[in-house]
Amino acid sequence: LLGDDGVSRPTIFAEMSALATSRGAINLGQGFPDEDGPAEVLDAARRAISDGLNQYPPGRGMPVLRDAIAEHQARFYGLAYDPDTEVLVTAGATEAIAASILALTEAGDEVVTFEPFYDEYGAIAALAGATHVTVPLRAPAFQPDLDELRAAVSDRTRIILINSPHNPTGTVLGREALELIVELAHAHDALIVTDEVYEHLTFGVPHIPIASLPGARERTVSISSGGKTFNTTGWKIGWLTAPAEIVDAIVAVKQFLTYVNGAPFQPAIAAGLRLPDAYFRQIAGVLQGKRDLLAAGLTRAGFRVSSPQGGYFVIADAAPLGYPDAAELCRRLPDLAGVVGVPVSAFVRTERAREYASLIRFAYCKKLELLEGASAGLVRLG
Ligand code: PMP
Ligand code: GLN
């Protein structure tokens, strides 16, 4: 958890947001939307506070939200979960991920993830004393090589932790890769933990929850969050669904991490999960337009740009512009272009950093005028 010099640092997201604020630059670093979500959700939270829902809620989450989570899994994916025993509300997906890894691994177990990976995975594996094993996603397509995936999983593997749509690459896993993951989990008696926080944000490809594949549900923990779907990243309402005995094990950890969380926000996220299908279609369509706008701006500026199939982020290669070191460029970007991005090297281990050295992650979950302003600034790099 400490840097090579033994010093603890803020995460790359906190560092880059602070840089954007101090320089007055456009923040395409940290992935959070800059517009409020649906009025139904915001109003429900206000009402809950006025109605006095301001004390500790039940440890597994308020029944109204657990019911809505189970209904959502059934409505979108045909997955049946018992809201009383197979659903747990958490402090964001962050806590669901942490509690799952801490509950389900012992020191020395292996946790397999893709690389690049969301920074929390490596940090919590380290806290658990687990060994982090990775499967690379390589530019430009960032799809896993199935032989490398096969080779990474062994009898030492306790958890295969996947993330689709993927942060930072925008990769959406297809059926073939997902089926292989289920097969490997069975062959090596591993559990699957799937981080699906961007589940409703895919562009022209379906999100396939791995729990919906034959033989997967019994060994899968599915994690999501209200943050990305309802533009409420600051509320920190997340959840997981899994078989009852796995949920029991995770509750044993969760109760000592945060005990409970966010009472008035829980009925509000429940209202969000019950919005009509049209809402979920519309947010993906709007985001796709933003992706296209920023990708076009980055291309005009001279970057080689990835084609994310989902999520909040596009990856831009600065090498064609003559910048081989994206970490260095990101520190100068506020002055050169008035923009902040995150070097992809922040999502990989030191030994792989060189392979990703010229790549920058930009968030497009921002207002159109901001994306236009960023594009205009980035053109100055050429
Ligand atoms: N997983 C991924 C892949 C993320 O990008 C994020 C953050 N945006 C999280 C988990 C954390 O989600 P939450 O804010 O709900 O804790
Ligand atoms: N998930 C967001 C991102 O990747 C931010 C989360 C955080 O700041 N920890 O930018």
Q: Distance between CA 198 and CA 135 in Å, rounded? A: 21
Per-residue pLDDT of the chain (382 residues; tens, 9 = 90+): 666 666 677 888 888 889 999 999 999 999 999 999 999 999 999 999 999 999 999 999 999 999 999 999 999 999 999 999 999 999 999 999 999 999 999 999 999 999 999 999 999 999 999 999 999 999 999 999 999 999 999 999 999 999 999 999 999 999 999 999 999 999 999 999 999 999 999 999 999 999 999 999 999 999 999 999 999 999 999 999 999 999 999 999 999 999 999 999 999 999 999 999 999 999 999 999 999 999 999 999 999 999 999 999 999 999 999 999 999 999 999 999 999 999 999 999 999 999 999 999 999 999 999 999 999 999 999 8
Q: Distance between CA 201 and CA 222 in Å, rounded? A: 16
ipTM, 2 dp: 0.97
Q: Distance between CA 304 and CA 321 in Å, rounded? A: 9
Ligand 1 contacts (CB < 6 A) are 31, 92-94, 118, 163, 167, 195, 197, 225, 227, 233, 236, 238
Task: Give the chain's domains with CATH numbers.
Answer: 12-30+278-379 (3.90.1150.10), 39-275 (3.40.640.10)
Three-state DSSP class for 378? helix
Q: Distance between CA 3 and CA 7 in Å, rounded? A: 5
Find the 189 Cα to ligand 2 centroid distance in Å.
Answer: 31
| Residue with token string 């923009």 | 339
Q: Distance between CA 71 and CA 67 in Å, rounded? A: 6
Strand partners for 91: 237
Cα–Cα nearest to 203, from 294, 284, 307 = 284
Between the two ends of the chain, the Cα-to-Cα distance in Å is 37
CA distances from 151 to 55, 135, 181, 325, 349 (A): 49, 9, 12, 31, 19
Q: Distance between CA 209 and CA 242 in Å, rounded? A: 13
Q: Write out the H or E segment, with its range, that includes residue 20.
A: helix 12-23
Mutate to test the pocket of ligand 1, among 228, 240, 269, 365 (most ligand atoms within 8 A of CB): 228
Q: How far is CA 146 from its chain centroid? A: 22
Tokens of 288: 């796709």
Q: How far is CA 221 from its chain centroid? A: 15
Measured from the CA of 226, which atom of ligand 1 is nearest? 15
Measured from the CA of 312, which atom of ligand 1 is nearest? 5
